[in-house]
Amino acid sequence: MSPLFVIARNSCFTYKGRAVEVRQVGRELGVRYVLEGGLRKAGSRIRVTAQLIEAATGNHVWAERYDRDLADIFAVQDEISQAVTIAIAPAISQAEQQRAMRRPPGSLDAWAAYQRGLWHLGKFTSEDASLAQKFLQQSIDLDPSFSGACGALALAHGQATEFQTRGLPETLSSAVALARRAVALDGADAEARSHLCYALYRCGDYEGALAEAERALAMTPNLAHAHHMLGATLIFSGRLKEGLAALERSVRLDPRGPRSAGRLNQIALGLYFCREYAAAVEAAKRAIQSYPDYPLPYRWLAAALGQLGRIEEAKEALEKAIAIMPASFDMYVHQRVPWMRPEDYDHMLDGLRKAGWNG
């Protein structure tokens, strides 16, 4: 079940130059979304406009304007095509999630249950993590051959460890099995490869994870999730600057994506591992501002403030890190998780002790 089904250009071009209602286009082509565009030229400048419309309702999902010089028309064409392709995938994903949320749970099919699971997965709370697993499992039960749901459930199981909702070894083993199943169902699905990268690096298999990230990016070079997983793997394997660059690339490709909390947190901890403590503080605060119930950034904020000697602020962050999700804090500090190197674990504990932790 591919996330984007695109009608061939020959069918689309039959509407060229005709005043046709977008609802009619949707019905005749059997699509839920229509991408419209326009071109205006003034001297050596062009303006290309594009808008994505939900066919059934006529609602605008996304719109953008591109102003360019005509110095190299073919380069401009490639640039705008790439920009539009990158932009509409997350726009459609968000619209599909909203569409699924409007449907009663009892009437969900595999695709709708999948989208509903993704919606909850992007909320980064303990309750939503559990609901995400419920709906994604429902999607698999309805369609066992759906690679996307298997991969997303692997991600959901991995996210569950951040809230300590299940035992860590069991969860990691389940995540790897689900991600491998997703790849087996559709080896050409770059998203599935990205999910397998995530599951493998969480087990400490950096080499295997990097291989999957590279495969994903070879298939889809602008997949934000693949850059995210590549960045996380590089950071936890000690290649800090490369990892931060990959995470920044992921943010540029999808600045408001549903996995932003994880990216922001990993940027904060990457900067902390680089001993750029002031920058780590700012990155952690950005994560907290967007996701105040997400427990992980508070721990890095406390550690970074501790390293800077800002003890009162550090103690406050430490208290919040513990209070929001005590089981999660205990898991990360009382034992070294498999994806964190011993030296990074010791570095984290050093900052937390300076913040006032004496566990």
CA 249 to chain centre: 12
As a whole number of angstroms, the distance between CA 60 and CA 148 comes to: 26
Asked if the structure places residue 64 within a domain, the reply is yes
Highest mean pLDDT out of 78-87, 113-122, 147-156, 157-166: 147-156
Domain containing residue 266: CATH number: 1.25.40.10
Give the count of beta carbons closer than 10 Å to the beta carbon of residue 131.
Answer: 18
Return the SS3 of 205.
coil
Average pLDDT over residues 281-310: 95
As a whole number of angstroms, the distance between CA 56 and CA 54 comes to: 6
pLDDT at 138 over 70: yes
Among 123-127, 153-157, 198-202, 324-328, the range scoring the smallest mean pLDDT is 123-127
Tokens of 18: 């005709």
Asked if the structure places residue 141 within a domain, the reply is no
DSSP state, residue 204: T
Confidence of residue 96 (pLDDT cuts 50, 70, 90): low
Asked which of 101, 122, 147 is the last residue of a domain, the reply is 101
Confidence of residue 349 (pLDDT cuts 50, 70, 90): very high
As a whole number of angstroms, the distance between CA 98 and CA 107 comes to: 15
Asked if the structure places residue 114 within a domain, the reply is no
DSSP state, residue 254: S
Q: Which residue is listed with tokens 């913040």?
A: 355
Average pLDDT over residues 158-174: 81
Asked if the structure places residue 326 within a domain, the reply is yes
The one-letter amino acid code at 331 reads: M
As a whole number of angstroms, the distance between CA 339 and CA 296 comes to: 15
- Note whether 90 and 122 are within 8 A (CB): no
Average pLDDT over residues 92-97: 66
Return the SS3 of 18.
coil
Give the count of beta carbons closer than 10 Å to the beta carbon of residue 218.
Answer: 11
pLDDT in the model for residue 253: 85
List, edge to edge, every strand of the sheet that includes 45-54.
33-42, 45-54, 60-69
Confidence of residue 100 (pLDDT cuts 50, 70, 90): low
Query: Rounded to 5 degrees, what are φ and ψ at 114?
Result: -60, -50
Task: Give me the torsion for CA of 175, 180, 186, 188, rounded to 10°.
Answer: 100
Asked which of 67, 101, 135 is the last residue of a domain, the reply is 101
pLDDT in the model for residue 235: 98
Average pLDDT over residues 222-234: 95
Asked if the structure places residue 124 within a domain, the reply is no
As a whole number of angstroms, the distance between CA 234 and CA 207 comes to: 10
Range of the domain at 281: 259-359
From 199, 206, 161, 201, select the one nearest 181 (Cα to Cα): 199
Among 219-228, 249-258, 325-334, 342-351, the range scoring the smallest mean pLDDT is 249-258
Asked if the structure places residue 65 within a domain, the reply is yes
Tokens of 128: 């939503």
Asked if the structure places residue 271 within a domain, the reply is yes
pLDDT in the model for residue 354: 97
The total number of structural domains that make up the chain: 2
pLDDT in the model for residue 1: 40
- Note whether 146 and 140 are within 8 A (CB): yes
Asked which of 84, 101, 118 is the last residue of a domain, the reply is 101
| Number of residues that this document lists for the chain | 359
Instruction: Name the pTM for this structure.
Output: 0.75
Asked if the structure places residue 36 within a domain, the reply is yes
From residue 275, how far is each of 235, 240, 308, 355 by CA, in Å?
13, 11, 10, 16
C-alpha angle with apex 61: 56 to 62, nearest 5 degrees?
145
Concatenate the DSSP letters of all residues of 101-161 into one string: HTS-GGG--HHHHHHHHHHHHTT-SHHHHHHHHHHHHHHHHH-TT-HHHHHHHHHHHHHHT
pLDDT at 238 over 60: yes
